[in-house]
A and B are shown apart, each in its own frame.
Chain A
């Protein structure tokens, strides 16, 4: 049966970036760098262009990154919001300088004529890993229990000795320092492990497009305003309102 199937039929090297799906996906690259990619399908692009009466490529598109640590995010209560303007041909972004040890959600959306954000797609939640503390805790410490007979309790000497011996930081590891004969060959800096610097050129090129925006309060107020006038069909005009 294999004879009928050419290897070209198996080995298809074509590729696409557009799958006609609607999504934004957030991934963790490092404690301070996230990556997101997004796609909006033609149908939704068309709906949005019609609604905002603007060609898709002329819309003010943005990615909004929300810090949602310790909250149940409802779209309005983020701890902080960072807005990144993107153009219609961009479909992914490295978000640098995020805080380690926090939870994030990203939206891809449109800025309305009045400057407010309109969500098109929302991402998964990710947690940026926390960095290891520079020092190790000194509060947690184990000591050997010294067992004295009762009449020795008043004697301060052994206690002093005990405390001296057991106050140790948990930083040093012996090993290398102990035996010198091979040290010439092993340096202190390992090639693996420590989180290091990030792509600084990337950072410079993109940072001017990001801005911090205030938390969702403004939008909330606005919504309450129109809700008062909504009678179940459309908005009622009140006296004195345009």
Chain B
């Protein structure tokens, strides 16, 4: 009766060592030793078992690099040459040891083994993949794959690089074995949670993890160590049995350390005088292992006695018996407790058998025979067959783990090898960039892309980091890492710059020739690719503005919104980069008006101060622009609004060689009537930089033009004045005031004198307060409404005398539609600003058909002609202001006349016209760029390559 299963998993792997340039390459001997000592002996064992009718199941993982080498013609030829020289050596050894019987019979044994192997090798036409495939077709062996170049997957950074390692392995496996692998050997049992979705995506059913991975799984596996669990995506994980590992794996405590077994470290390649082994070692006289070894382990000391094959055979039988017995006990114990038939998973490096543990194949042979003939409680099984026994398994989260020292990444991530990861990770990202940027490569580009994939994967082989840790052949591992990274980097640079060296590429292809059908598109990112140029040939504008509706604090957002919509309307592709005030991800939207808005959050912590926050916002803008550029977007013009985006504007202009246009909406100097603090100084400097870097500076009034020219020493002809616009559409004003309900702001028989704006000093609210008593004295029916909020609000409220308190209303913050209603119900709107770059709200009042009283300052002075489309007062002069307001109140005919004139003039201030003029500025700049930068385009391409 079956009480349990044993899943033996052998993992065969060698890194890709193929050096056409060096006929005596020492590292290629790794492959030759593997073939002679492990792969052929194991194949012979399995074939013998099949021949003798032994029922067994074994799982064999063959790494893609090993498959590539086993099928490589050059290496096959070299191996045969190597085998022949070994046979000659064994023959010679028989002569040499003629008078040493205890060695002579061993020499004969080696000779016979080697000649039998040669026969085996010939039988399969030098291709060892064929006998493996045969065994699979006979149903005794399940062949699974591993990561393409045996990368230690937990330390691979990008999902694309992980996917490419898995997908490439599967493709190659299918090409050799005509079927998909059902399981995968994760190199070094290196698991990471980011893998499971990819494994599932490629239809892999199972993998192995080390025992502690199951012990620390969450929730705790209820069936203990002898049952696989499922990851959330549904891939089964089999836990390596610790006892099996210890008994077989450990050289000190395990079976291979038995004193009767052959001693690995006494090879005639090292023991004999040089002249005896010249034919088999490196021509430079470097001694190497030949595989011919005459001693047994004997004991812990240096004294070694000759090998006795019969003693070793007896021990192998004893060990096989012990192994079987322990497994029987183990499964019986667990079977009673979990109510399922348990499976003991025993994975080993295949090279342990034969190469390191000479008697390993024999032990395996005896074990499988014993399991078949001597008992019926324990049966061998493949993991995939075990998965078919049950319809459900417990689902657990597995953490990162490996079977390396200490159980995690200690071996592959330490002082000796941590220097490789910055280069490897960047290469991963660059490979994705290449794959994304070459959707339709030419023939030679395709070759280069495939080779880049090969070089990246070869650089990723876990073997290099492993070797650096183990302190043997470190130099070779370091060299290989550097070669592959540098080959990749050169391919990357060539592809990016469009200058491929075909001869060099061909030479490289002939050296690193694995994965001929490599699919470089596995590296593509899921992101969509953007068209470098708009399909319809539209020019493309990048607009930088810190605010954009619906997120607005000041008036800038409204301005940028209206302008961007009109520019889009008039045939430009407009991308607005602006702030995402909440802390979420970047939001990208195409507004109904056809504007691409990219809202970018600010990375925190940002230093906690305003000026650092602005700087961080600019870094985010620069970063995001680089991302857009990498995705293929190219811009014709960058248009920046105010100093808050100055740094980003400057860097984008220089990095991508696109002309910069800047709009200055206000200046820190004007707002504060001078520069008084450190912060103001910094802002003033940034404003200066922005106007300096811009090809054209746009301002909204002649007043502002004079101001920026004066403050920043700009050449007069660099500044364009484009007046602001209003696009408010008010219903026609009723003939009589009464038809408009003035509640709750005023009684319907009161005449509203309206102020709208931020409550700051520069807006002149104090002047208005001073004028109120005089106005009320003349016209008691007046009611002053102050709409808006700001830092001065409380101070202003305190200044109101109780006698006039009934006649002055602070509304606080008002929403847009309320503000518009106020503009319309007002008898007159007053704007007593001390500093006003433009005064858009005055225009809005005019559009609402309300007569305005403005102070004769800045942009307001330019909009209003006294007595024609409004009235003017002296800035900061309450008496003058009161006079003008009283004049309007006393003279309704004048009020009607100026407001009518104003209404017709407002039509000139529309956004469509403003956009036209702005496009004129852009075109002028592009024209100038054309004329001064004949070769600029080439320079900018190279520049982009340098900046990755």
Q: Which residues of A contact B (CB under 8 A)?
A: 1-2, 4-5, 7, 9-17, 19-22, 25, 27-31, 35, 37, 39, 41, 43-44, 47, 51, 64, 74-76, 91-92, 101, 107, 109-110, 112, 114, 116-120, 122, 124, 127, 129-133, 136-137, 140, 142, 168, 170, 173-176, 178-179, 181-182, 185-187, 190-196, 216, 218-219, 222-223, 226, 229-239
Given A20-B948, A109-B605, A230-B553, 17 more A-B residue pairs with CB atoms under 8 Å apart are: A10-B507, A12-B482, A14-B482, A15-B423, A19-B422, A25-B157, A37-B422, A110-B607, A118-B606, A122-B603, A132-B212, A168-B337, A176-B243, A187-B253, A192-B210, A194-B407, A219-B604
- Tell me the minimal C-beta distance from B690 to chain A in angstroms: 13
Residues of chain A lying within 8 A (CB to CB) of residue B680: 234
B155 contact set on A, CB distance < 8 A: 27
Residue of B nearest to A101 (CB): B399
Residue of B nearest to A19 (CB): B426
Chain B residues within 8 Å of A, Cβ to Cβ: 21, 154-155, 157, 193, 210-212, 215-216, 218, 220, 222, 224, 242-243, 245-247, 249-250, 252-254, 257-258, 318-319, 322, 325-327, 329-330, 332-333, 337-339, 399-401, 403, 405-410, 413-414, 418-419, 421-423, 425-426, 479, 482-483, 485-487, 490, 502-504, 506-508, 510-511, 547, 552-557, 583, 603-610, 612-613, 615-616, 619, 623, 642-644, 647, 651, 655, 665-666, 668, 671-672, 677, 679-680, 683, 758, 760, 790-791, 795, 946-948
Contact yes or no, B651 A231, CB < 8 A: no
Docked Cα-Cα span, A181 to B245, in Å, equals 19
Known: A10-B487, A74-B583. Contact between A186 and B254, CB under 8 A? Answer: yes
Q: How far is the CB of B445 from chain A (nearest CB, A)?
A: 18
B791/A117 in contact, CB under 8 A: no
Q: Is the CB of B760 within 8 A of A186?
A: no
Residues of B within 8 A of A239 (CB): 795
- The contact of A43 among B253, B504, B651, by CB within 8 Å, is B651
Residue with the greatest number of chain B CB neighbours at <10 A, chosen from A29, A74, A91, A130: A29
A118: nearest residue on chain B (CB-CB)? B607
Please give, as numbers and ranges, the residues of chain A lying within 8 Å of B325 by CB-CB distance.
178-179
Q: How far is the CB of A203 from chain B (nearest CB, A)?
A: 14
Between-chain CB contacts (< 8 Å), 25 pairs:
A5-B503, A11-B479, A12-B483, A15-B485, A19-B426, A28-B408, A74-B583, A76-B604, A109-B605, A116-B609, A117-B605, A124-B157, A133-B216, A136-B220, A178-B326, A185-B253, A186-B247, A192-B210, A192-B246, A195-B406, A223-B613, A226-B609, A232-B554, A236-B790, A236-B791
Q: Give the complex CA separation of A190 and B247 in angstroms.
A: 9
Closest CB in chain B relative to A226 CB, distance in Å: 4
Contact of A28 among B409, B483, B679, B946 (CB under 8 A): B409
A109 to B339: give the CA distance in the assembly, Å.
Answer: 56
A27 surroundings in chain B (CB, below 8 A): 155, 409, 413, 421
Please report the C-alpha to C-alpha distance between residue A181 and residue B612 in the assembled complex, in whole angstroms.
74
Determine the distance from Cα of A14 to Cα of B677 in the docked complex, in whole angstroms: 51
> Closest Cβ of chain A: how far from B584's Cβ, in Å?
8
Contact B486 A12 (CB under 8 A): yes
Shortest distance between the CB of A74 and any CB in chain B (Å)? 4
Say whether A232 contacts B337, CB under 8 Å. Answer: no
CB of A17 within 8 A of CB of B422, answer yes
Interface of A is mostly: loop
Among A110, A122, A231, the one with the most B-chain Cβ atoms within 10 Å of its Cβ is A231
B504: contacting residue among A5, A110, A117, CB under 8 A? A5
| A contact residues around B651 at 8 Å (CB) | 43, 47
Q: Contact at A226–B610, with CB atoms within 8 Å? A: yes
Complex: how many Å from CA A196 to CA B411? 13
B337 A233 Cβ-Cβ under 8 A: no
User: What are the nearest 4 A-B pairs in CB distance?
Assistant: A232-B554, A75-B604, A129-B399, A132-B215
Pick from B482, B612, B758 the residue with the most CB of A within 10 Å. Answer: B612
Centre residue among A35, A112, A120, A190 by max chain B CB count within 10 A = A190
B210 contacts across to A, CB distance below 8 A? 192-193
Q: Output the least CB separation between B279 and chain A (Å).
A: 27
Question: Is B948 within 8 A of A19, CB to CB?
Answer: yes
Q: What B residues does A137 contact at CB under 8 A?
A: 220
Contact check, B216 vs A132: say whether CB atoms are below 8 A apart.
yes
Residues of chain B within 8 A (CB-CB) of A238 are 791
Q: What's the minimum C-beta distance from A32 to chain B, rounded to whole angstroms?
A: 10
Q: What CA separation (Å) do A185 and B677 show in the bound complex?
A: 81
In the complex, the answer to whether B483 meets A10 with C-beta atoms within 8 Å is yes
Given known contacts A35-B413, A109-B605, A131-B216, A191 and B250 CB-to-CB distance under 8 angstroms: yes
Q: Does A195 contact B608, Cβ atoms closer than 8 Å? A: no
Knowing A27-B413, A170-B337, A174-B333, say if A194 contacts B583 (CB, 8 Å): no
B375 to chain A, nearest CB (A): 15
- Complexed CA–CA distance, A191 and B248 (Å): 12
Q: A187 to B251: give the CA distance in the assembly, Å.
A: 12
| Residues of chain A with a CB closer than 8 A to B479's CB | 11, 13
Most chain A CB neighbours (cut-off 10 Å) among B490, B606, B665: B606
Q: Chain B contacts of A195 at CB under 8 A?
A: 212, 406-408
Instruction: State which of A10, A116, A176 has its C-beta within 8 Å of the C-beta of B605.
Output: A116
Query: Which of B327, B403, B413 gathers the greatest number of chain A CB atoms within 10 Å?
Result: B413
**B507 and A2 form a contact (CB under 8 A):** yes
Contacting residue for B224 out of A10, A22, A170, A193, CB 8 A: A170
> Which one, B212, B216, B607, contacts A117 given CB within 8 A?
B607
A130 proximity list for chain B (CB < 8 A) = 216, 218, 399
Q: Are B683 and A1 in contact (CB under 8 A)?
A: no
By the criterion CB–CB under 8 Å, are A231 and B758 in contact?
A: yes
- The residue of chain A having its C-beta at the shortest distance from the C-beta of B479 within the complex is A13
CA distance A218 to B608 in the complex (A): 8
Q: Would A127 and B399 be within 8 Å (CB), given that A9-B507, A27-B155 are in contact?
A: yes
Contacts of B683 in A (CB 8 A): 234
Contact B510 A2 (CB under 8 A): yes
Interface centre among B157, B322, B487 (most CB of A within 10 A): B322
- Which single residue of chain B is at the shortest CB-CB distance from A92? B418
Residues in A with CB closer than 8 Å to B795 are 239
CB < 8 Å neighbour of A233 from B330, B423, B665, B947? B665
Q: Which of A182, A222, A232 contacts B552 (CB 8 A)?
A: A232
Partner among A2, A20, A129, A170 whose Cβ is within 8 Å of the Cβ of B216: A129
Q: Return chain B residues, CB-CB under 8 Å to A28.
A: 154, 400, 408-409
* A44 CB to nearest B CB, Å: 7
What's the Cα separation between A51 and B436 when bound, in Å? 35
Q: How far is the CB of B311 from chain A (nearest CB, A)?
A: 15
Complex Cα gap A64–B610 (Å): 21
Hey, which chain B residues are within 8 Å of A10, CB to CB? 483, 487, 504, 507-508, 511
Contact A192 B245 (CB under 8 A): yes
Q: How far is the CB of B590 from chain A (nearest CB, A)?
A: 25
Tell me whether A173 and B243 are in contact (CB under 8 A): yes
Nearest-neighbour CB distance to chain A for B919, whole angstroms, equals 26
In contact, B410 and A29 (Cβ under 8 angstroms):
yes
Contact (A142, B605) CB under 8 Å given A124-B157, A174-B333, A191-B252: no
Question: Among A13, A118, A176, A187, which residue has its beta carbon within 8 angstroms of that of B612?
Answer: A118
User: Nearest CB to that of B216 among chain A residues?
Assistant: A132
Contact yes or no, A178 B329, CB < 8 A: yes
Given known contacts A10-B508, A30-B406, A129-B408, A223 and B333 CB-to-CB distance under 8 angstroms: no
Bound-state CA distance A112–B247 (Å) is 58
| Chain B residues, Cβ within 8 Å of A9 | 504, 507
Our pick among B249, B425, B487 for the contact of A192 (Cβ within 8 Å) is: B249
User: Across the interface, which residues of B come within 8 angstroms of A25, CB to CB?
Assistant: 157, 421-422, 425
- In the bound complex, residues from chain B placing their C-beta under 8 Å from that of A230 are 553, 610
Q: How far is the CB of B495 from chain A (nearest CB, A)?
A: 17
Which single member of A19, A22, A51, A233 contacts B615 (CB below 8 Å)?
Answer: A51
Inter-subunit contact B330/A2 (CB<8 Å): no
Complex CA–CA separation, A123 to B880 (angstroms):
62
Q: In the complex, are the beta carbons of A236 and B407 less than 8 A apart?
A: no
Looking across the interface, which residue of chain A has its beta carbon closest to that of B218?
A130
Chain B: minimal CB distance from A37 (Å): 5
